[in-house]
């Protein structure tokens, strides 16, 4: 298998011969990793349940974790799911890589479609399954929303959406997602929405594909799946707690597959994750921090405050040159957009001319870094 280097590897190569300006403290705004301590009550739960390391965890997850996730889905999206419609997972990255292998294993000429730019694990799964790829290109002309081409979608086995979107911070309304649900039923493809940023919204709550499925009259979630994670929500990427929910017929067989994968979460992590999924107060506090960072960005860079995520998708003349200049003169790292996307059939990469900025620091560090970026843009 010939996998592409990860965007961060490409960034390291781009900057490897550059010595950054030592007059500035380093500022790394490349990775979507919250730079805040995991809340104390979650850490305490982990410590208090460390004694459970002596036990093997269940592949399907403990009931305490399942109940917490189902409670989260109910309280957050007003959607009831039962145990047959849910699998707790070891984060979502492993699901995004192994679920396509499970789903497409008996397809001789499988076809995957996913948003472009994208989280690179989507591409890794396509390579691992030897699937043909259809890129759903996101650009300014389509307001960073995937265009619908039914002729192409009719050939798909799996379509992966990612809204709220990384890296463009665009959103789909529940009505727009319901349209995709109807297409999944019409053309019989599996539709998955990666909702890992659903809880990092700035004003109104953002919808889930599960709500859209209900709106479309698809109460059984046929062909519809959602994945979500605690990483951004609770500043706890190290807990590796996620879930996949939706079509119980698909999940029944996927659960069998997972017993062979060996990715069960350790019990102390499951109990700590259950504690985190069950609490909303700490998430509200984090949202205020991220929203304030967007307010600062609007003040300094003039960027609009998006509906969700903690990313700025900043337009620049030449992303590669800007990234090198910013690092060399101002000791700030950002990620060129072309590293997060691939060329379309016209040879156009929708990430060209953009950099992704992750606003995951506190107010002081965020303001300092954005002022440096502004200076660099003004040169």
First to last CA, the chain: 43
Q: Identify whether residues 111 and 11 lie together within a single domain.
A: no
Residue 338 maps to which CATH number?
3.90.1150.10
Q: Identify whether residues 267 and 308 lie together within a single domain.
A: no
CB 330 within 8 A of CB 21: yes
What are the Cα distances from residue 287, in Å, to 40, 221, 303, 308? 17, 29, 18, 9
| Position 101 in a domain | yes
Residue 238 maps to which CATH number?
3.40.640.10
3-state SS record for 216-270: CCCCCCCCEEEEEECCCCCCCHHHCEEEEEECHHHHHHHHHHHHHHCCCCCHHHH
Mean pLDDT for the stretch of residues 353-376: 98
pLDDT band at 131 (very low <50, low <70, confident <90, very high): very high
Bridge partners for 161 per DSSP: 193
Residue 345 in this model has a pLDDT that exceeds 80: no
Mean pLDDT for the stretch of residues 318-336: 98
| Position 183 in a domain | yes
The answer to whether the bond into 167 is cis (omega within 30° of 0) is yes
Residue 196 CA to residue 199 CA, distance in Å, equals 8
pLDDT tens track for 176-188: 999 999 999 999 9
Q: Identify whether residues 249 and 225 lie together within a single domain.
A: yes
Bridge partners for 134 per DSSP: 113
3-state SS record for 320-349: HHHHHHHHHHHCEECEEHHHHCCCCCCCCC
pLDDT at site 141: 95
Bridge partners for 315 per DSSP: 354
pLDDT at site 304: 96
Q: Identify whether residues 25 and 89 lie together within a single domain.
A: no
CB 276 within 8 A of CB 230: yes
pLDDT band at 379 (very low <50, low <70, confident <90, very high): confident
Residue 156 in this model has a pLDDT that exceeds 80: yes
Q: Identify whether residues 248 and 342 lie together within a single domain.
A: no
| Position 111 in a domain | yes
What are the Cα distances from residue 43, in Å, to 61, 88, 200, 296, 355? 20, 20, 21, 30, 34
Residue 295 in this model has a pLDDT that exceeds 90: yes
Show the domain range for 94: 40-279
pLDDT at site 1: 80
- Looking at 279, 306, 329, which one is the last position of a domain? 279
Q: Identify whether residues 224 and 190 lie together within a single domain.
A: yes
- Looking at 245, 263, 279, which one is the last position of a domain? 279
Mean pLDDT for the stretch of residues 141-145: 97
Q: Identify whether residues 44 and 124 lie together within a single domain.
A: yes
What are the Cα distances from residue 6, in Å, to 96, 124, 153, 277, 350? 15, 10, 27, 30, 17
Mean pLDDT for the stretch of residues 92-105: 97
With b meaning 16 or more CB within 10 Å and e meaning fewer, what string describes 258-280? beeeebbbbbbbbbbbbbbbebe
Mean pLDDT for the stretch of residues 70-74: 98
| 209-213-75 Cα angle (round to 5) | 60
- Looking at 238, 254, 279, which one is the last position of a domain? 279
| Position 2 in a domain | no
| Position 266 in a domain | yes
Average pLDDT, the chain: 97
Q: Identify whether residues 100 and 137 lie together within a single domain.
A: yes
Single out the residue of 143, 213, 157, 135 nearest to residue 181, CA to CA: 213
- Total domains in the chain come to 2
| 61-165-264 Cα angle (round to 5) | 15
pLDDT at site 363: 97
Residue 347 in this model has a pLDDT that exceeds 90: no
| Position 300 in a domain | yes
Residue 127 CA to residue 60 CA, distance in Å, equals 27
Q: Identify whether residues 257 and 305 lie together within a single domain.
A: no
Q: Identify whether residues 269 and 292 lie together within a single domain.
A: no
| Position 44 in a domain | yes
pLDDT at site 213: 98
Please indicate, yes or no, whether the overall pTM of this predicted structure exceeds 0.85: yes
Q: Identify whether residues 67 and 136 lie together within a single domain.
A: yes
SS3 202: coil
Q: Identify whether residues 18 and 110 lie together within a single domain.
A: no
| Position 1 in a domain | no
């Amino acid at each position: 298998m010939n996998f592409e280097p990860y965007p961060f590897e490409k960034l390291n190569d781009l900057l490897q011969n550059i010595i950054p300006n030592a007059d500035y403290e380093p500022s790394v705004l490349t990775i979507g990793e919250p730079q805040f301590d995991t809340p104390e009550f979650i850490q305490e739960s982990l410590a208090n349940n460390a004694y459970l390391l002596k036990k093997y965890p269940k592949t399907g997850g403990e009931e305490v974790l399942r109940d917490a996730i189902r409670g989260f889905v109910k309280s957050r999206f007003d959607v009831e799911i039962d145990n047959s419609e849910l699998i707790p997972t070891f984060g979502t990255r492993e699901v995004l890589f192994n679920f396509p292998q499970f789903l497409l294993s008996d397809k001789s000429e499988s076809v995957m479609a996913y948003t472009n730019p994208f989280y690179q694990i989507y591409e890794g799964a396509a390579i691992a399954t030897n699937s043909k790829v259809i890129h759903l290109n996101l650009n300014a002309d389509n307001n960073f929303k995937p265009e619908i081409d039914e002729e192409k979608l009719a050939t798909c086995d799996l379509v992966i959406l990612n809204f709220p979107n990384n890296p463009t911070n665009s959103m789909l309304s529940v009505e727009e997602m319901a349209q995709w649900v109807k297409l999944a039923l019409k053309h019989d493809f599996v539709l998955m929405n990666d909702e890992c940023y659903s809880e990092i919204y700035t004003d109104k709550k953002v919808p889930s594909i599960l709500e859209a499925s209900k709106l479309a009259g698809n109460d059984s979630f046929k062909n519809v799946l959602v994945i979500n994670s605690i990483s951004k929500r609770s500043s706890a990427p190290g807990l590796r707690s996620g879930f996949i929910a939706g079509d119980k017929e698909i999940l029944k067989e996927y659960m069998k597959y997972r017993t062979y994968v060996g990715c069960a979460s350790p019990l102390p992590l499951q109990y700590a994750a259950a504690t985190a999924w069950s609490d909303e107060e700490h998430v509200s506090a984090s949202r205020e921090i991220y929203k304030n960072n967007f307010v600062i960005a609007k003040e300094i860079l003039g960027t609009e405050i998006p509906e969700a995520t903690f990313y700025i998708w900043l337009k620049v003349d030449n992303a590669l040159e800007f990234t090198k200049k910013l690092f060399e003169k101002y000791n700030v790292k950002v990620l060129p957009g072309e590293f997060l996307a691939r060329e379309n059939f016209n040879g156009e990469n929708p990430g060209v001319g953009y950099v992704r900025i992750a606003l995951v620091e506190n107010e002081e560090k965020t303001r300092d870094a954005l002022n440096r970026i502004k200076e660099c843009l003004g040169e």
